[in-house]
A and B are shown apart, each in its own frame.
Chain A
């Protein structure tokens, strides 16, 4: 199969195909960077347009958009605390504080380097390990996926923020929103109030845009004082190549986050935001100074950005081999393959090797291009855009948000829904309810529930099925470790402290 990889290379290197990837990366960075627009929306708009195109050109654009958008999402996350894509929520935790301290430029450089590295790692895994990893995916039935979701939820402990009651309210709200729509197991409609548009549940982009992009747009218009160039608009101008050496100390985080990103990617239905949350949490737990996190720790940006790009190509492993997309974006991309008559499955690798392996190369090139295109050029020009007069920026964001939400399903209903979430998000923000638990609850709540209930059906209602497979047992041990280890380490620390006092 590695012979196929080499054979596919010449076609990828043709001028048209390279151009497609370049255009894709640039478009992806723009889409990711513009609040309200997301990779899911961009690719779903692109798919019908590619119908008559050469498949590699179309796929190259999509690979570029995916990689570009995953990085692009960090630009407004850092500069405005508006995550440009769902996966950039965790980037804003430390990226925005860094920008407030006048280190926004460095934060973006860390983000672009980490994104590119994550993307490269992911593309290499896709190229070299797709068939064996597809077998790993098959080990994960509903039972195992349920435990992964539970593991992901353990990240919520950190996300709750200072006020536990408010944090829990946010989380419960997120889980509740994830339950809206048809319950696929009984067919019962939950909280749809007779609206067909709600049957499939609420799209994460609608919620995210409502909670994260609309309130800041309101905030931009609310500011009574004159628009001065505040700290967040000022970027340092050292070249990215000079900045890289100072980042090398994050190699452990890069490695860990790449592994997490790839792992989450090959699991069906989890997605980039879960990868980013998990890897942020793990990096923080491994850090020597966890108390600095959330206050402008560059390593936090590195963790989140590495893993949300490490998720991209990996998410295509189950998509190409099994037809089950690893992320929402991969799901849309699968449509992009189908529209060219490329049916996922082992036969795809046999019948169309030049396209499948060419597509993998394009992922690799897109990730490498990210450093060049996403470096000083894109970053600085976007920083300029975000320095537009605030009322103007606010008005533009409102229009962008409309386009982004309307284009997902071509309907006004989603826009009205987003306005509702915007109102809720505005008050949550003002009343200091943390927003990340809502996102995590929405991603994992219904996901965990559905898989738990599928598992129970398979087990004939017997709860012991949840611990029946070896994979499930390993996952249970991991969940317990995550929950128990902080308690133990706190005990140990307390004992040490008391010993010191005694001594």
Chain B
């Protein structure tokens, strides 16, 4: 870890290496889960402990490899780029979460009928006719299959509760 403090001297490495972060996350998460095996019976704990220890070990290897690479290649080292467009990714993630929460609160069909055109519009598909048609076919099709044919319940609409 203390190698990291040397890093900011070069402008390149100011952008953190995602592999390094992944390694640290893996070590921390596996280590935390490892602590929870304490109360388990021996045979129950055997495989979880060996897998988590392996993860910790591999995480350390991953970190070490990043640091060695950083040291060797110094300024020329280019880590993997995770996001083409971080804002766009956050937007997508937010809309997925919003959709799922919406389904839980407002019901499946209402939320889906709203989500499909809005998301497709926001992320670049701008044909109003196409949007409405796709929305109608998809949501309507699902409704026909699930409600009429199967009698299968998806989360119920807020106005029917």
| A–B direct contact (CB < 8 Å) | yes
Does A242 touch B at the CB level, under 8 Å? no
Please name all residues of chain A whose beta carbon is closer than 8 Å to the beta carbon of B136 when the two chains form the complex: none
A49, B151: Cβ atoms under 8 Å?
A: yes
Contact of A165 among B62, B112, B120, B127 (CB under 8 A): B62
Interface residue? A98 (CB, 8 A)? no
Q: Which residues of B contact A214 (CB under 8 A)?
A: 96
Residue A6 interfacial (CB < 8 Å): no
Interface of A is mostly: helix
Instruction: With A396-B116, A430-B18 as known contacts, state yes or no: A402 contacts B99, CB within 8 Å.
Output: yes
B78 CB–A CB distance under 8 Å: no
Instruction: Please state if A449 and B47 are interface contacts (CB–CB under 8 Å).
Output: yes
B54 touches A172 (CB 8 A): yes
B97 touches A419 (CB 8 A): yes
Complex: how many Å from CA A222 to CA B115? Answer: 17
In the complex, B77 has a CB within 8 A of chain A: no
Q: Across the interface, do A46 and B150 meet the contact criterion of CB distance under 8 Å?
A: yes
A355-406 with Cβ < 8 A to chain B: 388-392, 394-396, 398-399, 402-403, 406
Report the bound CA distance from A190 to B112 in whole Å: 36
Question: Which of A175, A402, A433, A456 interacts with B100 by CB under 8 Å?
Answer: A402
> Cβ of B154 and Cβ of A403 under 8 Å apart?
yes
Residues of B contacting A191 with CB < 8 Å? 33, 36, 48
State whether B88 touches A392 (Cβ < 8 A): no
Q: Is there a chain B Cβ closer than 8 Å to A2's Cβ?
A: no
The answer to whether B85 has its CB under 8 Å from any CB of chain A is yes
Interface flags, B95-129, vs A, CB<8A=1, else 0? 01101100110001000100111011111110100
Cβ of A139 within 8 Å of any chain B Cβ, yes or no, is: no
Tell me which of A175, A395, A406, A415 contacts B116 (CB under 8 A).
Answer: A395
Q: Is B147 an interface residue (CB 8 A)?
A: no
CB pair A398–B40 under 8 Å, yes or no, is: no
In the bound complex, CA of A323 to CA of B48 (Å): 31
CA gap between A412 and B123 in the complex, in Å? 26
User: A394 and B152: CB pair below 8 A?
Assistant: no
Known: A173-B55, A191-B36. A419 touches B96 (CB 8 A): yes
Query: A222 contacts B85, CB within 8 Å?
Result: yes
Which residue of chain B lies nearest to A44 when distances are taken between CB atoms in the complex? B152
Known: A172-B54, A224-B84, A398-B96. A183 touches B116 (CB 8 A): no
A166 with B62, Cβ < 8 A, contacts A183-B44, A445-B47 known: yes
Q: Using Cβ atoms and an 8 Å threshold, which residues of chain A touch B51?
A: 172, 175-176, 179, 445
Q: A176 to B125, alpha carbons, bound, how many Å?
A: 40
Known: A166-B62, A406-B154, A415-B100. A389 touches B33 (CB 8 A): no
Task: Name the residue among A49, A392, A398, A430 with the largest chain B CB count within 10 angstroms.
Answer: A392
Name 22 A/B residue pairs within 8 A (Cβ), A-sorted: A45-B152, A48-B152, A49-B152, A168-B54, A179-B47, A218-B96, A221-B123, A222-B85, A222-B92, A391-B119, A391-B125, A394-B119, A398-B119, A399-B116, A399-B142, A402-B103, A402-B112, A406-B154, A422-B96, A430-B80, A430-B83, A445-B51
Please list the residues of chain A having a beta carbon within 8 angstroms of any beta carbon in chain B: 45-46, 48-49, 165-166, 168-169, 172-173, 175-176, 179, 183, 185-186, 188, 190-191, 214, 218, 221-222, 224, 226-227, 388-392, 394-396, 398-399, 402-403, 406-407, 410, 412, 415-416, 419, 422-423, 427, 430-433, 445, 449, 453, 456
B residues with CB within 8 A of A: 18-19, 22, 26, 33, 36, 40-41, 43-44, 47-48, 51-52, 54-55, 58-59, 61-62, 65, 80, 82-85, 88-89, 92-93, 96-97, 99-100, 103-104, 108, 112, 115-117, 119-125, 127, 130-131, 134, 138, 142, 146, 149-155
